[in-house]
Structure 1
């Protein structure tokens, strides 16, 4: 009986004890490593969303290693288990190919920061304010208050225009007058309108110049610089003011016209 205990029972007790020790100590080590990883990422000023996701992935991966080591201590053949996990991971990866693409793009967006929450951007054919940057998609709010959810892969693989990235923007406007109108007077009016608007920056200086002798009009380009937050207000207000001043000063704004001539044929 003693020989049976020494040969079979005692070794099993030792293996179980060692396996439990590996599991519990390993789980504690995993917890400490995960906390350390979180501290390092936060110290590097990585976004909280990415910190939580990376720490979760690291925690699961390390726990799997601890479990495999514990089973190996018990004498369980873990080779087939590792192969099974690898095959399952491959199958999941293939089935979630688009999701993994969006995840990778989300990580790149968080790391390189082509835009931040609150920025007004144009990406993947949508223009709006960025409300949330998530791991798999980005939520944007359009000007008419629609919520648009865009996969991160579509954003990162295309052109991103960030209108909030710079403090100032140039407002590009074109105004046409008739060929019979006073060119110098029109230019003087445009300069007065620009100078009277306090939202328009003095540096860089605004540009008012004749840009084109078009088919039915002489076109001016008007290009003032403003703070980014004032862009749309200045654009709309200037357009309205130009129309009102031109009307007051008798300067015409040509528009496309078509003359139709009817010829009546006399019947023999």
Structure 2
């Protein structure tokens, strides 16, 4: 293909039924969630059906994209559009976490001091300006999670995973398939270990620190930030597993491997969010 054709031709996929299947999955998930929350009979089965249909859609749709990519149907113009799409997706995820960090900032820097000030004394006499705080109406006593324990271990795990995925990328660029596969496998292992340690941390928080979702504003912000981050680590680990399987099958070349790059970008984003979270939520 000539350079002009490479720049001008844009791959247009054939009509697909997978968006319709995905819409059906989302409808089943919504109905199933509502039925389950209202304890309606068989609501859990509807919810499970939604997850299964969603899984089928993801495997089928992304499998088709992989086959198109391996069939060399995507040119540089399509590659650029993928890069822009992934960049905007990560930007939307950044703003998602900005909202939660903003809520934490508002509570910690503005709301709690105001409630402890002269004006707040009219409503909550004796409330003290200190953090962590469950808020003036909270009656349960809890102990905050200390930074230099399980959270510090998880920080080391994620920082190490950032090194291993970069090492895997170097292996891919240099054509060292063994280094690529080994680096990805280590990254997946570190990510899964992070999730296990976080589950142990939550168990410790509930069982011994009395730190729960019901522990006022501190408990809710703590679990919302760490929980959503754990959800993103789970998604990242799943994507890394897919990339690992593709690498074992011989996919990707040193010249073209944007799927690998996209997952690496996402994983580095997860690392950076955790570093900020560790400092703001656990340390300060």
Return the TM-score normalized by structure 2. Answer: 0.22
Higher relative contact order (CA 8 A, sep 6+): 2
Answer with 1 or 2: which has the greater Rg.
Answer: 1
